[in-house]
Amino acid sequence: MTSEIKDWKAVAKEKRDAITASIPSEWHISNIPSAADQRDVTGKFIQQYLNEKEVEITETDAVGIAKKTKTGQWKAVDVTKAFCHRAALAHQLVSCLHETFFDAAIKDAQILDDYYATHNRPVGPLHGIPISLKDQFHVKDVETTMGYVGWIGTFEGKKGTNKEKVFESEMVRELRNLGAVLYCKTSVPHTLMAGETANNIIGYTWNPKNRNLACGGSSGGEGALIGLRGSPLGFGTDIGGSIRIPAAFNGLFGLRPSSGRLPYEGMANSMDGQNSVLSVVGPLGTSIGGLRLATKALLSQQPWLHDPLVHEIPWRDDQEKEIIDLVGSMGHGHKLTFGVLKHDGTVTPHPPVRRAMDIVAKTMERLGHEVIEWQHPVPSERFTKVIGKIWTFDGGHDVANAFSLSGEQVAEAIVVNTSPTEQANASEIAATNVVKRDLQKEYLERWNSTKELTSTGRPIDAILSPAAPFAAARPSLYTYLGYSVWVNFFDYTSVVVPVTNVDKSVDQAIEGYQPLNDIDKKTYECYNAELYDGAPVSIQVVGRRLQEEKMLALAEYISNEIHKN
């Protein structure tokens, strides 16, 4: 037993050291101040380690980068090097990387530059844009551990598959086709089932804007890395909030598409094959423009020809235009209508989240749009219980198996059961699927019925909702997932929009607050204005299934308007 424990710790340390060693020594930094001394390591703090050009490049969003790289104004190699450098710094500050492959990236970038030099045109719409990937993507010559010590030196825990460091996920192939440069893979909580990011390899990924807090999860490394501008754009996955939570906690934009829109084919996953609630893959980034660029580019690759679960729905300009036309013709009797979910009936959002929701709702009202109070048609427990059941259909068998490979201990933040219990059987699973479908139908019809409430005669265009009850979670205190999982349960499209930052001078306790239940009380008690000060506060814009074009357009409009103030 002792030797086994020593074993996994040693293996984890070896991997951890290898990640650090993969960073060129000239990029190493030391004497990093404590969180108490330096809460926020973004902006000026991280800039001190970079030259002016590197700062300019890395603080440009994906659309801005594409403009330069696709016209030859910036070399892909220079852009890549700048992001490799900043990513290396980010990792040292908040522990957000599982894999770096900077040399391969620079080599790939050189090929792009050569192509441009020869043909005077870019390889594709993502020419020379560095893109970071959550450590579920398989990339050749690179390991995938998903945070499991037992996966080190294997392919998804298995040895001798001949796929180790050779096999690439479908989206990786497409991103390369499009001209993107892949250079690092980012940290995740092992099991992927957590709203924060911790594992025995890299430890804990902190929120770079406020190192008292979690960076979110499970695409937490993406959130932290992009939050530090160590990447302009990255891909995460979401089965309960795992794209949106890190986007929200780090002041980023994030798209959770509906299932079947973007290709998940060939990625590592937890409980792979559970198909009652599918995990989806989507982009996080520093601008909506970047999310749109990446989504549109991927759809141009016809992923439905290579991923059997992707539906043949190309990018729909007309759907985007519908929103643009609506807001463009405001004052001519046209307007948007929103449902606003201020409280889901179970857990009271923290003061800064309430304020962010108010900012958005009031901005929309001020502009002449219509905002109606929204309540889920059924108590949130109804679907949070069902999704919890779905996540544990296998009684924790899959993740327990992954842990048993090394004997490693389980991180505190993990929300699924990891000691195997009884599995659900086929009848129970089928019955759960029927309950889920019935609730989905009920939600759809409630949404349809809002056309009776709006002055436009259309059902509401979107629901504005918190992405979490808090600006960011405190370590091991992710008390409630209800504000993110409802979107997964109903398979809706959602875009996270950063709104403001916690301001201890205004975001004080809620006057007359009375706990509704134990989770509500526990969640409320996590709030501490002093501790939270400075953390990003975001909301999500939620549309029906497969409304990616419309929700991106809406989120962009909302974001532009709230940041005009």
Our finding on whether 490 is near a copy of itself (CB under 8 A) is yes
218 is catalytic: yes
Q: Which residue in the list 242, 279, 406, 559 is annotated as catalytic?
A: 242
Report the 10 Å Cβ neighbour count for 86: 26
Distance CA 172, CA 185 (A): 12
Q: What is the dihedral of CA 222, 225, 229, 231, to 10 degrees?
A: -60
Q: Measured from the CB of residue 362, what is the shortest distance to a copy of itself in angstroms?
A: 30
Q: State which of residues 242, 276, 363, 418 lies at the interface with a copy of itself (CB under 8 A).
A: 276
For residue 294, the minimal CB distance to a copy of itself (Å) is: 21
For residue 218, cis peptide bond before it (omega within 30 degrees of 0): yes
Annotation-wise, does 218 bind a ligand?
Answer: yes
What's the rounded Cα separation, in Å, for the pair 127 and 111?
11
CB of 544 to a copy of itself, least distance (A): 8
427 touches a copy of itself by CB under 8 A: yes
Its sign, for the CA torsion 309, 219, 270, 435, is negative
Name the catalytic one among 134, 185, 296, 335.
134
Angle, CA 254 vertex, CA 533 and CA 325 arms, to 5°: 115
Indicate the DSSP class of residue 29.
-
Cβ distance to a copy of itself smaller for residue 424 or 531: 424
How far is the CA of 317 from the CAs of 67, 175, 313, 321, 384, in angstroms? 21, 21, 12, 6, 35
Residue 240 annotated as part of some ligand binding site: yes
In this chain, which stretch among 89-97, 204-212, 441-449, 511-519 interacts with a copy of itself, using CB under 8 A? Answer: 441-449
C-alpha distances in angstroms, 422 versus 393, 395, 419, 430?
9, 5, 10, 17
Buried b (16+ CB within 10 A) or exposed e, 49-62: bbeeebbebbbbbb
531 known ligand binder: no
Pick between residue 193 and residue 562 the one whose CB is nearest to a copy of itself: 193
Q: Are 196 and 203 in contact (CB under 8 A)?
A: no
Quote the CA–CA distance of 37 and 115 in Å, as a whole number: 47
The residue within the footprint of a copy of itself, chosen from 166, 431, 453, 509 (CB under 8 A), is: 431
223 is in an annotated binding site: no
Residue 466 bridge partners (DSSP): 539
Interacting residue with a copy of itself among 177, 417, 440, 476 (CB under 8 A) = 440
Taking CB under 8 A as the criterion, the residue among 125, 377, 395, 407 binding a copy of itself is 395
> Which residues make beta-bridge pairs with 337?
370
The continuous run of DSSP H or E covering 246 comes out as helix 244-249
Least separation in angstroms between CB 280 and a copy of itself: 14
The DSSP secondary-structure symbol of 27 reads G
393 forms part of the interface with a copy of itself (CB under 8 A): yes
Q: Is 445 in the site for a copy of itself (CB under 8 A)?
A: yes
Near a copy of itself by CB under 8 A, which window of 37-45, 388-396, 517-525, 531-539?
388-396
Site string for a copy of itself, 295-314 (x = CB under 8 A): ---------xxxxxx-xxx-
Which of residues 21 and 305 has its CB atom nearest to a copy of itself in the complex?
Answer: 305
Which of 193, 463, 539, 546 touches a copy of itself by CB under 8 A?
546
Stretch that binds a copy of itself, among 27-35, 287-295, 442-450, 495-503 (CB under 8 A): 442-450
What residues make contact with a copy of itself under the rule CB under 8 A? Answer: 260, 265, 271-276, 304-309, 311-313, 393-395, 397-398, 423-427, 429-434, 437, 440-441, 443-445, 448, 490-491, 544-547
Q: Which residues are catalytic?
A: 134, 218, 242
Per the annotation, binding residues are 192, 218, 239-242
Residues at the annotated binding site for substrate?
A: 192, 218, 239-242
